[in-house]
Amino acid sequence: MRYQRLFETAHDGILILDASTGRILDANPFMTNLLGLSHDELLGKEPWQVGLLLDAERSRATSGALREPGFIRHEELFLKSASYPEGIDVEVVSNKYQEDGGPVIQCHVRDITERKRADLLAALYVDELAAADRHRYEFLATLSHELRNALAPVANALQILRLEQEAASSLPNRARALIERQMTQLSRLVDDLQEVSCIDSGCMRIQPGLVDLREVVQRSVEAVMSAYAHRKHQVFVTLPVEPIWLEADAIRLEQVVVNLLSNAANYTQDGGSIVVMADRAQDRAELRVADTGIGIAPEMLPRVFDLFVRAESARDHSRKGLGIGLNIVRRIVDLHGGSVVARSDGPGAGSEFVVSLPLVSSAA
């Protein structure tokens, strides 16, 4: 009687099969609900006839295995029934033993659809981690390439200085200027490496103080645009007369503006336009950096702030970026309680980045 109750109340489907014929002798209520058939409709049928083990070849193999002695586990089988017309994944665990009427096979049938879905999600997550690792390798490869590119002209310039150090010509001065430009680029790469390390370890911190956003913008424009003077960009800066007070880390905030301006200058053709605007928008400060550059494809817009991500058009256009500047921008803006969004009408249509930060009500 006790075992009968277990049979009737089990949360797995249970089938009792004749070991010699493979036909169903009994089924518990859970199994009848699973198959959407009455108890009488199941009796005398083989499992494949009632929606279990639909694949004929697998059905024969499984049915044969069911008749072997001992416990057998069969996974990744498929059940399709009136209750589940689209089908579900099941696992069957069987055991052969003797009853009064002869040998029987007891099959426990369990729905593993959710488990398989979880396994699939786990597999996708593993793939994402593998992709992240690939991006890191790409980053290291790009970095070494960038460093070599930056060091080669420095070495050449030093050679020129050695050859021309006593000559009364402008070559040494031009060589020194080249060294300075390349050293600036090297310093930026090293700074980016340090930032990546800090981001990965979660150690990025801010030291807030009272900051006028206008001053940050002015310093950043002077620093970046002088480095890109040879590109002859038209730069338009619009700032209000009154201060835009923020409770912010001035160095980190300047890093945000510099990265956005460098990004605009890097991906805007020679002679193109860059517009920088800062103003108040209710209780927020709003910084906009827009350009007439290569633009961003719609499918890339949601990913432009991800680490190591660059559009293929950006890769083709310039080799200076490592794909981490915009990620650093987002991290710093987040730490300040702000937000940043990217906008573009597509390739060739330019880009705009909008940073929003909380205002300080008073500078007192």
**For residue 319, what pLDDT is reported?**
45
Do 192 and 251 lie in one domain? The reply is no
Residue 244 · residue 280 · CB < 8 Å: yes
Two tokens, residue 285? 């400060």
- Closest to 313 measured CA to CA, from 291, 297, 333, 336: 297
CA distances to 13, 58, 64, 79, 235 from 16, in Å: 10, 20, 15, 17, 82
Question: β-strands 234-238, 273-281: how paired?
Answer: parallel
Walking along the chain (364 residues) 10 residues at a time, the average pLDDT comes out as 74 86 88 87 84 60 58 59 73 79 83 82 84 70 68 73 62 68 69 66 79 95 83 93 95 92 91 95 95 93 79 49 78 93 94 96 62
**For residue 274, what pLDDT is reported?**
96
Question: CATH number for the domain including 335?
Answer: 3.30.565.10
**For residue 220, what pLDDT is reported?**
92
The CA distance from 247 to 255, in Å, is 16
What residue numbers bound the domain in which 355 lies? 205-364
CA distances to 27, 55, 88 from 83, in Å: 16, 19, 10
Question: What is the distance in angstroms between the CA of the first residue and the CA of the last residue of the chain?
Answer: 84
Question: CATH number for the domain including 123?
Answer: 1.10.287.130
Q: DSSP class of residue 23? A: -
The CA distance from 95 to 66, in Å, is 8
The CA distance from 46 to 295, in Å, is 63
**For residue 104, what pLDDT is reported?**
87
Q: Exposure pattern of 47-64 as b/e (b: 16+ CB <10 Å)?
A: bbebbbbeeeeebeebbe
| C-alpha count within 13 angstroms, C-beta hemisphere, residue 115 | 8
- What angle in degrees, to the nearest 10, is found between the helix axes of 250-266 and 213-227? 40
- Closest to 178 measured CA to CA, from 151, 147, 153, 145: 153
Residue 97 · residue 69 · CB < 8 Å: no
The CA distance from 287 to 42, in Å, is 71
Last residue of a domain, one of 111, 137, 168: 111
**For residue 15, what pLDDT is reported?**
87
Residue 122 · residue 29 · CB < 8 Å: no
**For residue 120, what pLDDT is reported?**
84
Do 238 and 353 lie in one domain? The reply is yes
**For residue 60, what pLDDT is reported?**
58
Do 350 and 227 lie in one domain? The reply is yes
Question: CATH number for the domain including 96?
Answer: 3.30.450.20
Q: DSSP class of residue 360? A: P
Last residue of a domain, one of 111, 144, 167: 111
Do 326 and 217 lie in one domain? The reply is yes
Q: How many domains does the chain have?
A: 3
Residue 220 · residue 346 · CB < 8 Å: no
**For residue 310, what pLDDT is reported?**
59
**For residue 194, what pLDDT is reported?**
67
Last residue of a domain, one of 78, 111, 144: 111
